[in-house]
């Protein structure tokens, strides 16, 4: 019993997932980290894509990495 | 052995800190100043209204906020207002380059490891904490738009009138 609890607790605490805090987004905000180097062009492409497909949203998270919008 | 392992594991799970709220005492800090490297903190500004502004060179809205805050600070400094900027760039050279472009006359403190924002539990960048003369958090401002400035100015003036 004790051993299984310990195993579960250990496995849970070993998780490598972590949330990037708003102030840790310096590297993520760099141009090289963007999917497309030209933000305006990718926004336009997305707009056209959504219009053609009759669907919208779910493309990617908004914002340039500052976590304020 | 077993017990200590369990304790360690559960501590790892519960690392969430409590956020700083309005009306609470502002957590103290002491950080090196950009330029002189001298340590400075909130305690130096007791009895004054302090605007603690967390910023970074990569933060878009900061391009607008720094020059505007600098203007407000220069206007109200003699009345007992100060801006304390805490820079969160991992590379301090980025901050220096930014400040060359947008120079400010208020003190800029450096926290490249991000220990103080952890303490203040920043919800986004930039975030500012308005701290009254008694050292309590009077207002929290998340994000920044140029249109926010008149309200910030009003709030600061109101706090300056308090005893």
B23-161 classified as CATH 3.40.30.10: yes
Residue B87's contacts (CB-CB under 8 Å, 6 or more residues apart) are B34, B55, B56, B57, B95, B108, B109, B110, B111, B112
Strands B127-131 and B137-142 come out as: antiparallel
Chain B CB contacts of A9 under 8 Å are: 6, 9-10, 13
The predicted-structure confidence for B31-84, as pLDDT tens digits, reads as follows 999 988 899 999 999 899 999 999 999 998 999 999 999 999 999 999 999 999
In this prediction, residue A16 has a pLDDT band, given cuts at 50, 70 and 90, of confident
| Structural domain contains residue A66 | no
Give the burial string for B80-114 (b: 16+ CB within 10 Å, else e). Answer: ebbbbbbbbbeeeebbeebbeeeebebbbbbbbeb
Number of domains chain A is built from: 1
Chain A CB contacts of B123 under 8 Å are: 22, 67
Question: What count of CB pairs under 8 Å joins A to B?
Answer: 72
| Structural domain contains residue A62 | no
Kindly report the number of other CB atoms within 10 A of residue B23's CB atom.
9
- Position of tokens 């301090």? B92
Rounded Cα distance between A6 and B10, Å, is 10
| Structural domain contains residue A65 | no
Amino acid A66: pLDDT = 54
| Structural domain contains residue A36 | yes
Residue B55's contacts (CB-CB under 8 Å, 6 or more residues apart) are B62, B65, B66, B85, B86, B87, B88, B125, B126
Name beta bridge partners: B87: B55, B110
Look up residue B61 and give its two tokens.
């809205």
Least confident segment among A38-52, B58-72, B87-101, B144-158: A38-52
With contact defined as beta carbons under 8 Å apart, do B76 and B160 qualify?
Answer: yes
- Nearest alpha-carbon partner for A14 in B12, B5, B17, B6: B12
| Structural domain contains residue A14 | no
DSSP string, A51-64: HHHT--S-S---SS
Closest chain A residue by Cα to residue B11 = A13
Q: Work out the average pLDDT over A19-26.
A: 88
Cα of A4 to nearest chain B Cα, Å:
11
| Structural domain contains residue A38 | yes
- Position of tokens 């878009």? B60
| Structural domain contains residue A4 | no
ipTM comes to: 0.71
> Domain containing A35: what range?
26-57
- CB-nearest partner of A26 from B9, B90, B123: B90
Does residue B66 or residue A68 have the better pLDDT?
B66
For the entire predicted model, the pTM comes to 0.76
């Amino acid at each position: 019993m004790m051993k299984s609890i310990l195993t579960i607790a250990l496995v849970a605490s070993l998780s490598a997932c972590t949330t990037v805090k708003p102030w840790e987004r310096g590297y993520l905000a760099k141009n090289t980290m963007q999917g497309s180097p030209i933000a305006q062009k990718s926004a336009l492409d997305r707009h056209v894509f959504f219009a053609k497909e009759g669907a919208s949203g779910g493309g990617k998270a908004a914002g340039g990495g500052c976590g304020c919008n | 052995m077993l017990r200590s392992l369990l304790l360690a594991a559960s501590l790892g799970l519960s690392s969430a800190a409590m956020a700083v709220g309005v009306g609470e005492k502002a957590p103290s800090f002491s950080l090196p100043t950009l330029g002189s490297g001298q340590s400075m903190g909130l305690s130096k500004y007791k009895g004054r209204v302090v605007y603690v502004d967390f910023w970074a060179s990569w933060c878009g809205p900061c391009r607008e906020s720094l020059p505007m805050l600098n203007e407000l600070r220069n206007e109200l400094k003699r009345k007992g207002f100060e801006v304390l900027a805490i820079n969160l760039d991992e590379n301090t050279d980025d901050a220096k380059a930014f400040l060359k472009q947008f120079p400010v006359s208020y003190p800029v403190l450096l926290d490249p490891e991000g220990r103080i924002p952890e303490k203040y539990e920043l919800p986004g960048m930039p975030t500012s904490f308005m701290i009254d003369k008694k050292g309590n958090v009077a207002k929290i401002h998340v994000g920044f738009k140029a249109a926010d400035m008149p309200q910030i100015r009003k709030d600061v003036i109101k706090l300056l009138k308090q005893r």
